[in-house]
Structure 1
Amino acid sequence: MASKQQLESLREDLICPICSDLFTDPVSPDCGHNFCRSCITQLWEHEVRNSCPECREVFTDRTLRVSRALASLAEKARTLNPNLKGKESKFNCEKHQEELKLFCETDKKLICVICAAGREHKTHSFMPVDEAVEIYKAEIKSSLESLTQNKLALERMEQQQKQKICGVLDQSQFLQSHSRSLFAELHQILFDKEQRLLKYLGDEKEMILNTMEKNLQEIQVRLNLLQQELPILPKQLDQVNGVTLLQEEAGRKRR
């Protein structure tokens, strides 16, 4: 029959170094140390590197080998003694080796009954550990509720901000499209006005030039007549007979 020390040694071999309880779905990385799958997985999720908690060896990936034999032994140990747990959690006073039953509110630390009666904590206020746990649980619950409310409020603010950003983008796109359409319409209006003005100026130019051309032709006709009469006048001055001069002058005026 196995001795108590042998059973204790066997139990220690079936304990996960992380959770200090019997193995559940034991696995091992490349270094060979064994851990519960959930324990090593959760540990690596909070670490930058994939390292072994026992030997600190670093692995490039998260490859884990299943330890079927170890899982079978742990299950048998759990079946033989359902109350069998891992390493006992002993919360004893380091100074008096007594169970830590009180919580010092002044120093915010666990103390034993002997510590509470000593000089160091004589004027301090303390309470039973169970009562302190309930108080701190209530505080944590209150903090959790507050953080949850803050999270919900921030999520609502985030959603509202996203909606505002979408609204600004939609409004900006609408204004840009409307501006392009408006300026295209204004450009067409100005172009039409330009064409009408150019046509008006062209028509005015033609009308003025036609009038001036006619005036020029009349001036040229009159100039030609004057050029025809100029050589006659000196000859008339030379005539001695005044009656003949008056007759020619009357005929010239009639012409």
Structure 2
Amino acid sequence: MGEEEREYKLTFYLGDNDYCLKKEKTSGNYVRKGSLQQFLSSEEHMCGLHKEAKQVFCEVDRSLLCMLCSSSQEHEAHRHCSIEEAAEESQPGTRAQTNPPRTGIGGTQLFAPGSSFLQHPAKEPELQSSIGETMDMLPRKVDSNILQAFHEELTCLICMNYLIDPVTMGCGHSFCLSCLCVSWEKAESTNCPLCREPAQQTNFKTNILLKNLVSIARKASLREFLSSEEYMCGLHKEAKQVFCEVDSSLLCMLCSSSQEHEAHRHCSIEEAAEESREKLSNQMASLWEKIQEIQRNLNKDGRISDHWMSYVYQHEHITRVAYQALREVLHQEEKQHLKSLEEEGPEMFKHLEERRDEMIEKKISLRAMYEELMDICHKPDVELLQELGDKLTRSERVQLHMPQPLQPQLPARPITGLVDRLNRFRVEISFTNEITNHNIRLFDDMRSLRFMRDSLCASLDPGPSNYYASWGDQVFTSGKHYWELHVDDSWDWAVGVCKESCVRKNGTLIGSQDTLLLLCVKEDNGYTLWTTAPMTRQFIEKPLGRVGVFLDADRGSLSFVDVAKRSLIWAYPHGIFNFPVRPFIDTGHT
């Protein structure tokens, strides 16, 4: 029979409860069910008064106690020890054969159902002998074939430590969630780090079964570690099983009830390690969210930096063109305007670079803190408690003062005579042709596009639009025309011109070359301006009140004006269109 076809089963009985550790061929899973410690921590055997596990044996009245009961007035003068030690100190003897014996590994006779060796002294010696022989045989018969495989099942295939917050991918491989996040952070695709199979989802849930098994394995390792002579209490020669939360020291149960420590708050080492690991996990989750936040800010800042200087140069160009019509009287104003642009462009770019450096430095410190916590989280319980120190406080401190990306903006500088000159071409536009096509979703499409750029794993369904959209009655094929639109009470708005056929089509307008629009889109707590054909971010103040639209159909150009500031927002170059156009408006009113 091959190794993979064997079934190993270790069974020992305590009272009427069976506990087993087995390897099954069909499932390939390694399941440990119980231990003496788990049995004693069940609700049935919890202290009714203090709701704590009974881990102490009173040698005077031979009863099981929790640690608080053992230091009470009734029992403080008695001699106590752990249940495991009481069992080890018992002498072998004979017991009444009231029930047929059960047999464990190697034919060892184990407990009969219904027996409890600590509460039945007459049966104690032989029962304890059976337990001792069985537990002595466990490492020899199991370590080499089952325990190693069991340990591997609970090991993260990235960090090669016990799984922390384990998640299982569709391919069946399991990893620490933190390890998987770090592995995918710079990866081009979200594949399994082991078999490279693409992940079917990235929103994983904790594998509770694996998490519980890891907890059991850690407790077993801790008990084995604490039972070594190195960690025995030098004064009482007992195992150190208690953690003092005041001075962060390991104590035996007798030391914990001494005058030096009796006023301190104690708990088991297992509980202290579990609580500390939970705090570490929470801090890691918080740090990771901050890392993702800073990365989103870096992405946003990178896009702004990439286009900022190009935008400034373009604005210099359109400013020069606007002043050409007023060259003789506006020459000095033009020089001052362009000088300001030349100074403000590099200055703001310098600030953008400095802020980007701040965010990169912040990300590095957050990442270093995250890796430090992840490293200590993987340490054995005792090392974890001894090295924890002020790391949680430092983690909280490093998450303060998160740098945010700058929002550069050119001031709206007035151009003398601009609005007066345009008013010579003033026309009145009637918007009576309301567009009922619900597929006109300028602002929802814009927000969806921006949202998806900032998040690899996000999705946004804005639902149906709730805006008023209409095109004007007039169709312009030639001449110069200027009109103004009031947008002060709108949270989103778009003004401009469009080819008549494009508003009759289904689908979005933001990618169409047949629409020349200025859009104001609400984002988070602010607004951003955009122009279409192509989509271009406008780094300039949001106009308040009225927006002017100047159409030169003969040259195929279009300009937008901030009427209140008497400044130019944007001007398309000549020849941008060569087809008849209608005025267009789309607003969302409060």
TM-score, structure 2 as length reference: 0.16
The structure carrying a bigger strand percent of its residues is: 2
Structure ranking higher in helix proportion: 1
In our comparison, the structure showing a higher alpha carbon Rg is: 1
TM-score (norm. length: structure 1): 0.34
